[in-house]
Amino acid sequence: MGPMEEKVESLFRVDRVVQPTAETKAAAYIQDYEAAYKKSIADPEAFWSTVAKELEWFTPWQRVLEWNYPWAKWFVGATCNISYNCLDRQVKTWRKNKVAVIWVGEQGEERIFTYGELFRQVCRCANALKALGLRKGDRVTIYLPKIPEQIVAMLACARLGVIHSVVYSGFSAPALESRIQDAESRVVITADVGYDRGKVINLKSVVDQAVANCRSVERVVVVRREPSSPALSAPKELDWHDWLDKEKAVCAAEPLDAEAPLYILYTSGTTGKPKGVVHVHGGYMVGTYITTKYVFDLKEEDVYFCVADPGWVTGHSYIVYGPLLNGATILTAEGKPDYPNPGRWWHLIERYGVSIFYTTPTGIRLLMRYGEEWPKKYDLSTLRVLGTVGEPINPEAWEWYHRVTGGTKPIMDTWWQTETGMIMVTPLPCVPLKPGSATRPFLGVEADVVDRAGKSLPANAGGFAVITKPWPAMMRTIYKDPDRYQVYWNTIPNCYTAGDVCRKDEDGYLWFMGRADDVIKVAGNRIGTAEVESALVSHPAVAEAAVIGKPHKTAGEAIKAFVILKQGQQESQDLIKSMKDQVLKELGKIAVPQEIEVVSSLPKTRSGKIMRRVLKAKELGQDPGDISTLEE
């Protein structure tokens, strides 16, 4: 985390407030956020235990929370199983024949699983894992493209108390190897190939390279998709279908301690060596269940489409666990938003009657570049609730998203992290929205903006985003590195430090301003990246922007901006000048970039976050450090 002595300047103001429509409000589970929030934080343990009772437990808890700072245990003494709650709990009811997952492949192929069918597949897979001798506490690495087997494998591991480590299938062999080594996985589940904009990606050869030096790996299971897929070498390599087909379609879910680890998910954010974030069955189940239900106002008849890959935490919490715990119908699609054309997502929304759509600001900005004619071609009237995650959404992108989807659908700008497991700061559909703000903490969550000493800052002063109380879906540790876990709770006394800079406005709305590491110090003023980038993107010619600080003789640092222009725009001195004027107008002199460079792409993590650290290293001719998470 960067230097945190001083406050962060916040220059950005938006006055627009978007009220929920009467229809949205009347339909919502929570119609009065203020009252519900007040009640929830007056007695958070009562709030969380009431939520937990909506789920099934094999044995009840003795205590809701055991808080031994900075270590938390939730639902102490209880036994449960998240896979049981996702599947068995549904198939016991009429939902056994409800559609659980609609999967669409890059080529448009479709596979549909009812809860009953998903349950049977998961049981077969769990039995197959058992047959290999896997037991509670063992680790399995899942390195699959976005196909339903990814979901099946996760739920099968969970069923047995086997800990899954899903690695996004875009990672290189060394990145995969280090994650397998750290987890000491006994089994790796992969596919022969993945597809990316029509290109065939040979995943199996990546796995071959990665496991060559991994002594823990006993078996590699391969989902074969291509008819020409090379033969496997027995006994180490197994064909997924042969492996599953002989197994029985029932397998009892293991009763697990509420604190039993569910998964490890490696995250590096935008800096440093990957950390294995550990989540557990009980608390994570409660947190993902209720946030999915309330944030998206998820109802029985909704079709819920989240564009993430289960390789990221968004996929874990809001494609797999949260929605299945709610018995939802989930749409998931392989491939990129602009392939085969920029109408891809809009087409899927029309085709499947999607009512809840959860995406990213990067995705929206990508589609904005192609213009409004794409969404206009499709019937998007089934949409009811929208969401974004992953970065601050700049008001420009917010307005576009709002407009092209009909102008009345609430946008849930959800702030959270791999480490938090669940959405932490977010509107609910009944909350008045301010474009660019993630608004208020979720029920039962206490968030604040503080200085380094942990002192709450007055309204509109920029500082550090913190969570001041434990919450059920919080990570329990960093795998094999408890010291690194403690850093999150030790950086600022008595709170969880998220590493983001933020301001809270006079209505208590939170405005995230970027990562603390990326803060730029200009003439003594510390400026968050998001505000400057947002001001640049509000220029009609700019599609995307990233800013960094560069050493400067008198000012300490000067701002350098990298921008991608919209289609059809030409670079010129006048254009650069008008971009600077735009920042001047939006934020003031202090935030105006000294230099603006037009580029055709920006370094991003595979989940779409800009890696400013890499831009900066390149600019200054320094070593960028670990770049295993870089997309290109």
Q: Which stretches of the chain bind ligand WTA, using CB under 6 A?
A: 267, 269, 313-314, 389-392, 413-418, 438, 498-500, 512, 515, 607
In this complex, which beta carbon is closest to ligand WTA, that of residue 305 or of residue 416?
A: 416
Nearest approach in angstroms of CB 267 to ligand WTA is: 5
In this complex, which beta carbon is closest to ligand WTA, that of residue 186 or of residue 609?
A: 609
In this complex, which beta carbon is closest to ligand WTA, that of residue 224 or of residue 526?
A: 526
**How far apart are the C-alpha atoms of 386 and 367, rounded to whole Å?**
16
- Residue 92 neighbours by CB distance under 10 Å: 11
In this complex, which beta carbon is closest to ligand WTA, that of residue 39 or of residue 484?
A: 484
In this complex, which beta carbon is closest to ligand WTA, that of residue 61 or of residue 512?
A: 512
Decide: 397 and 364 in contact? Cβ < 8 Å.
Answer: yes
Nearest approach in angstroms of CB 146 to ligand WTA is: 17
In this complex, which beta carbon is closest to ligand WTA, that of residue 121 or of residue 529?
A: 529
Nearest approach in angstroms of CB 465 to ligand WTA is: 8
**How far apart are the C-alpha atoms of 564 and 544, rounded to whole Å?**
5
- Residue 479 neighbours by CB distance under 10 Å: 23
Q: Work out the burial of residue 519: count CB atoms within 10 Å of its CB; fewer than 13 is exposed, 13-18 middle, 19 or more buried.
A: buried
Nearest approach in angstroms of CB 295 to ligand WTA is: 11
In this complex, which beta carbon is closest to ligand WTA, that of residue 70 or of residue 269?
A: 269
* Helical pair 115-131 and 148-160, crossing angle rounded to 10 deg: 60
DSSP lists the bridge partners of residue 411 as 386
Nearest approach in angstroms of CB 185 to ligand WTA is: 22
Nearest approach in angstroms of CB 113 to ligand WTA is: 25
Nearest approach in angstroms of CB 577 to ligand WTA is: 30
Residue 235: cis peptide before it, omega within 30 degrees of 0:
yes
Decide: 272 and 625 in contact? Cβ < 8 Å.
Answer: yes
In this complex, which beta carbon is closest to ligand WTA, that of residue 44 or of residue 269?
A: 269
Nearest approach in angstroms of CB 285 to ligand WTA is: 18
Strand boundaries in 326-417, DSSP class E: 329-333, 356-359, 385-389, 411-414
Query: Which of these, 138, 104, 97, lies nearest to 118 by C-alpha position?
Result: 97
Query: Which of these, 527, 449, 498, lies nearest to 8 by C-alpha position?
Result: 527
Nearest approach in angstroms of CB 390 to ligand WTA is: 5
Residue 375: cis peptide before it, omega within 30 degrees of 0:
no
**Rg over CA atoms, the chain:** 24
In this complex, which beta carbon is closest to ligand WTA, that of residue 259 or of residue 309?
A: 309
Q: What are phi and psi of 264, to 5 degrees?
A: -115, 135
Nearest approach in angstroms of CB 613 to ligand WTA is: 13
**Which phi-psi region, left, alpha or beta, contains residue 480 (left: φ > 0; alpha: ψ -120 to 50)?**
left
DSSP string of 267-310, one letter each residue: E-TTSSS-EEEEEEHHHHHHHHHHHHHHHTT--TT-EEEE-S-T
In this complex, which beta carbon is closest to ligand WTA, that of residue 258 or of residue 265?
A: 265
List all residues 6 or more positions away from 142 whose beta carbon is below 8 Å from its beta carbon. Answer: 150, 153, 154, 157, 164, 165, 166, 167, 188, 189, 190
List all residues 6 or more positions away from 218 whose beta carbon is below 8 Å from its beta carbon. Answer: 132, 186, 187, 236
In this complex, which beta carbon is closest to ligand WTA, that of residue 417 or of residue 525?
A: 417
In this complex, which beta carbon is closest to ligand WTA, that of residue 342 or of residue 514?
A: 514
**How far apart are the C-alpha atoms of 406 and 89, rounded to whole Å?**
36
493-to-70, 427, 526, 601 alpha-carbon distances in Å: 11, 28, 22, 40
Nearest approach in angstroms of CB 418 to ligand WTA is: 3
Nearest approach in angstroms of CB 317 to ligand WTA is: 8
